[in-house]
Amino acid sequence: MDLCRMPAHELGRLLRERKVSALELTDAVFSRIDAVEDKVKAYLLLLREEARSQARAVDAALAAKEELPPLAGVPLAVKDNLCMTGVETTCASKILKGFVPPYDATVIERLKEQRVVFTGKTNMDEFAMGSSTENSGFYPTANPWDLKRVPGGSSGGSAAAVAAGEAVTAIGSDTGGSIRLPAAFCGVVGLKPTYGRVSRYGLVAFASSLDQIGPITRDVRDCALLLNAIAGHDPRDSTSAPQEVPDYTEFLVPEIKGFRIGIPKEYVAEGIAPAVRDVLAEAVHLLTRMGAVVEETSLPHVSYSLPAYYLIAPAEASSNLARYDGVRYGLRVEGEDVVTMYKKTRSRGFGAEVKRRIMLGTYALSAGYYDAYYLKALKVRTLIRRDFDAAFERFDMLLSPTSPTPPFRIGEKVDDPLAMYLTDICTLAVSLAGVPGLSIPAGFAGHLPVGIQLIGPPFTEGKLLRVAYAFEQEAGITAKRPVL
Amino acid sequence: MITRKDVEHVALLGRLELSEEEIEVYTKQLGRILDYASVLNELDTENVPPMAHVLPLQNVFRQDAVGRHLDPEAVLSHAPDREDRFFRVPRLV
């Protein structure tokens, strides 16, 4: 029985049946971390002792026959942009090195209620800006399937940890694809919920109108369980939605007859690698065989999502990141007056990509350019959302590749920002429209995992999970794990 | 086209101190990215409303009551420099 390869729902059953203790499970995960972390570098911070004491507490509760939530005792990794009381939170940035939040993000609070075991904080692109985790201010993370390749980003550490067995499940955040892309590159499941489904309170802000927190898991059932735990309204995030949270596991039935699934032709056009196209074609074949009705459709403005996103997200980031000024927390580099202090602190503390986006966003918002760039991008965002609304009149959901290519080599795109940005071409529009996107493993390009993305109308995570579950049962992809 | 002067101006607005090399690289890279962004001009958006936010939320109200708040000492303990219950900064003027 390899505890490091099993999904959370199976481990939860073993824990409740007392076939394995939470401490044994936690120790097994940390042994795995000791064995492979040197190669993968998924974590920025490990919480070994804290995890062991959380596990012991769960074991004590189990021994006392307490009724525990489904994820109790399950080792879970947290992306380093979520605040956790007493635990250093850096966003992989030198400017936040040493910052220890005095409060919990709402998602962390809810996971503590679930009594999960927190393994540590995972690596990411600095402030979640990137598609490969190479923009971490500390070190890059490797893809567990091929250590010379990137795990995707920005939640690369979370996805790599789950794929490598260094955590059972993980939390990521997604602004333009930062959960879905690394999930696809690492062969795991990743969900960006509908904007507003999960509270952002305590998530270090990148682009506030786009950021969403979501699960990264070994299989679809775990994804439903984790979404159950974190979704719901929060008075501390005024953009969190008041919609009821259903029990997402109730959607998991392997029956999709009559589901109407649209394939936006723009997502199978030029620029999509043949191997990715093949995996998508296979998936369509399988879904059709299972009784779904799969047809081509169109999102006419989707090709404009990349330029629109790379104006809107940096504009919001340039404003959000103004708070890093060396006054209240984090790094300070002294200067003779306050403006010099700001400039020296920010220039030393931020990495190249973060500075590039602050520059881009500041430019797009500056006098004389606001209408031409930022306002224009917001109008195009409306057109993109309308495309989705129109498509969802005919289809229950849409299907696309998650990434146009399999994972690329470390270093391949670092000097060409535009080439790096193109990695997100299949995920950006979903973020701009605020709708949910679920990436699931669908096949391989040689030894490298390939993911597909299911996209639904707002608050239809349940339906997406159902189709994903049915597909997963039929395709049997998740049985494969990387050899390290 | 974005010029070196634009980059210097934007760096000042964004409170960044850029090296000679950074100014050169960013002038080129921002130029390329903004060139690429100009494809948005192909679209007629004359009568399209801008979407700053996807949710149809208007004002979100709460009771004007004192709630739980962070302990000031816990907050100030992160300050690179402080005096009593204040953050200390270099001179402003």
3-state helix, strand, coil in chain A (%, to 5): 45, 15, 40
Closest chain B residue to the Cα of A317, Cα to Cα: B14
Euclidean distance between CA atoms A224 and A362, whole angstroms: 39
- Render pLDDT for A165-192 as a digit per residue (tens, 0 to 9): 999 999 999 999 999 999 999 999 999 9
What confidence score (pLDDT) does residue A422 get? Answer: 87
pLDDT for B68 beyond 90: no
ipTM higher than the 0.85 cut: yes
> For A448, which DSSP code?
E
Query: Considering only alpha carbons, which residue of chain A is nearest residue B12?
Result: A343
Task: Give A-chain residues touching B55 at CB under 8 angstroms.
Answer: 195-196, 239, 241, 434
- Name residue, tokens 């007056």: A337
Spatial distance between the Cα atoms of A166 and A121, rounded to a whole number of angstroms? 12
Q: Where do we find the tokens 């992306």?
A: A79
- The whole-angstrom distance between B16's CA and the closest CA on chain A is 5
Find the residue in B nearest to A434 (Cα): B54
**Distance to chain A for B27, nearest Cα, Å:** 10
Torsion on CA atoms A299, A301, A307, A309, rounded to nearest 10: -60
Instruction: Report the DSSP beta bridge partners of residue A87.
Output: A84
Q: Take residue A435 and report the two structure tokens written for it.
A: 């709708």
Instruction: Give the model's pLDDT for residue A479.
Output: 67
The two structure tokens encoding residue A219: 């299989």
Q: Which residues of chain B lie closer than 8 angstroms to A335, CB-CB? A: 90
Contacts of B61 in chain A (CB under 8 A): none
Query: Cα dihedral sign for A32, A36, A40, A46?
Result: positive
How confident is the model over A209-254, as pLDDT tens digits?
A: 999 999 999 999 999 999 999 999 999 999 999 999 999 999 999 9
Contact residues, A window 2-31, toward B, CB-based 8 Å cutoff: none
Q: Is some CB atom of chain B closer than 8 A to the CB atom of A382?
A: yes
Point out the residue among B30, B34, B70 whose CB comes nearest to the CB of A102: B70
Strand (E) positions, A316-436? Answer: 397-401
pLDDT band, very low/low/confident/very high, at B91 (cuts 50, 70, 90): confident
> In the block, which residue shows the tokens 């990387």?
A482
Q: For residue B4, which residues of chain A lie inside 8 Å, CB to CB?
A: none
List chain B residues with CB under 8 Å of A382.
48-51
- Which one, of A432, A445, A363, A435, lies nearest residue A401 by Cα? A445
Sequence-separated (6 or more) residues with CB below 8 Å from residue A415 = none
Count of H helices and E strands in chain A? 15, 11
Taking a contact as any Cβ pair under 8 Å apart, which residues of chain A between 447 and 476 contact chain B?
Answer: 458
DSSP state of A25: H
Alpha-carbon gap, residue A355 to A368, rounded angstroms: 21
User: Can you tell me the distance from the alpha carbon of A213 to that of A207, in angstroms, rounded to the nearest whole number?
Assistant: 12
Amino acid (one-letter) located at A288: T
Packed helices A376-394 and A305-320: angle between N→C axes, nearest 10 degrees: 120
Comparing B1 with A345, the larger pLDDT belongs to A345
Nearest CA distance, A360 vs chain B (angstrom): 7
Task: Tell me the nearest-neighbour CA distance from B39 into chain A, angstroms.
Answer: 8
Task: Pick one of 3.30.70.360, 3.40.50.1110, 3.90.1300.10, 2.40.160.40 as the CATH number of A3-259+402-479.
Answer: 3.90.1300.10
pLDDT value at residue A415: 87
Q: Do A379 and B49 touch (CB under 8 A)?
A: yes
Which tokens sit at A372? 């031409």
Q: Which residues of B touch A378 (CB under 8 A)?
A: 50-52
- pLDDT of B63 reads 87
Of B6, B40, B78, the CB nearest to A308: B40
Tokens (6 digits) for B86: 């204040």
pLDDT-derived band at B83, boundaries 50, 70, 90: very high
- Rounded (5°) CA angle A142-A145-A146: 60
In chain A, which residues have pLDDT < 70? 478-479
Residue-wise pLDDT tens digits, B11-38:
999 999 999 999 999 999 999 999 999 9
A425 at B interface, C-beta within 8 A: no
Distance between CA atoms of residues A259 and B28, nearest Å: 48
d(CA A350, CA A362): 15
The sign of the CA dihedral A469, A473, A474, A476 is positive
Would you state the pLDDT for residue A478? 65
DSSP A443: E
Give the one of A196, A331, A341 whose C-beta lies nearest to B55's C-beta.
Answer: A196
CB-nearest partner of A358 from B16, B17, B45: B16
Q: Which CATH number fits domain B4-42: 3.40.50.1860, 1.10.4160.10, 3.20.20.450, 1.10.20.60?
A: 1.10.20.60
Q: Tell me if A359 and B43 make a contact (CB, 8 A cut-off).
A: no
Task: For residue A367, count other CB atoms closer than 10 A to its CB.
Answer: 6
